[in-house]
Chain A
Amino acid sequence: MAYSDKVLDHYNNPRNVGSLDKNDPNVGTGMVGAPECGDVMKLQLKVNPETGIIEDAKFKTFGCGSAIASSSLATEMLKGKTVEQALEIKNTAIVQELSLPPVKIHCSVLAEDAIKAAIADYKKKQSALQASQPVSK
């Protein structure tokens, strides 16, 4: 099976590889894996506390080309979005953009799960933060 040009492009030149400080309260970390192929994907996003916009996103994925391309694309899609907009990102958008074949759709699902997990982690940190220090107006 041949990879699409877009998958190859993301695979050969992955965007936003790396990591963010996972102890930063404005950073959300999502770690997900696919049992069937042993892929593991870490996706992190950093929210600007002033604007509520995701200003940075990083990933590190161990897995097949499609899994790497899916997470690479996911980090690109995240940047510039609000957290609520980011929750709207669906795996189908990744499938379309990368022209993933049916056997690789689970890679895009994994990327969507990673986004959701990262946002859940971010929200958890934020609510813990708000609980510890009352909001001053």
Chain B
Amino acid sequence: MEGTRCWQCGQPTAGALFCPSCNHLQQPTSDYYKFFGLPQKLNLDPGDLQKRFYSLSRQLHPDRFTRSTPTERQYSLEATAILNDGYRVLRDPVSRAEYVLRQRGFDVGEQRSKDVPPELLEEVFELNMALEELKVGDESAREQLEESRARFRSMRDEVDSQLQQLFVRYDESADQDSANAILQEIRGVLNRRRYIRNLVDQVERELAA
């Protein structure tokens, strides 16, 4: 965004949403962090993010631009969409981490099986067998499921605190190489977390049924 100039007055904008010279709305960046004026950190203060969201919502609302030029009306629509999507993504730590991963060129939705630890696969398999037994009316499986639920919940908590530590390390990383190495680790932990979350959901659904 550095080096961009205002579409209206031609003065440099330094990437600001509103031109510092003539105050016209500029084409919004699609980078959520830049859009919210935040450094690319994995730990964000939720209160601060919410404040920025409300403040930007007020400034960018399409109703404020009904009498502006068609260009600004268009930009305000675009900006509002980015604002809402960005807030949704950045608010949640997991989707935020996935967003940073994607931005740094990691493929997130396309994991292969090698990303899942084999011992977890065995666990998943056993759990599914127990779920199937319960479905056909074998009540002895229920106790096993309750144990599984407790185990998976503690696994989930463990993964969450692991993730938290990795976020801190990423935010403190000194250079790009070490940041990327940490992102690689985060990607692995997120895969594990996704798996575990599915398991918790599945067990809870079955036990509630």
Chain A residues with CB under 8 Å of chain B are 31-38, 40, 42, 60, 62, 106, 109-110, 113-114, 117
Contact = CB atoms under 8 A, between A and B. Distances in A.
A36 B124 contact: no
B41 interface: no
Contact of B115 (A35, A37, A106, A110): A35
B118 A31 contact: yes
B23 interface: no
B202 interface: yes
14 contacts: A31-B125, A32-B121, A34-B111, A34-B113, A35-B116, A35-B194, A35-B195, A36-B110, A38-B194, A38-B195, A38-B202, A113-B112, A113-B114, A117-B113
Nearest to B194: A35
B122 interface: yes
Nearest to A62: B128
Contacts of B128: 40, 62
Taking residues whose C-beta sits less than 8 angstroms from the other chain, chain B's interface range is 20 to 34
Given A38-B198, A62-B128, A31 B111 contact: no
Nearest to B108: A36
A106 to B, nearest CB: 8
Interface in B186-200: 191-192, 194-195, 198-199
A110 B116 CA distance: 12
Contacts of A60: 125
Interface in B168-198: 191-192, 194-195, 198
Contacts of B125: 31, 40, 42, 60, 62
B121 A40 contact: yes
Contacts of A106: 110
B109 interface: yes
A109 B115 CA distance: 14
Nearest to A114: B113
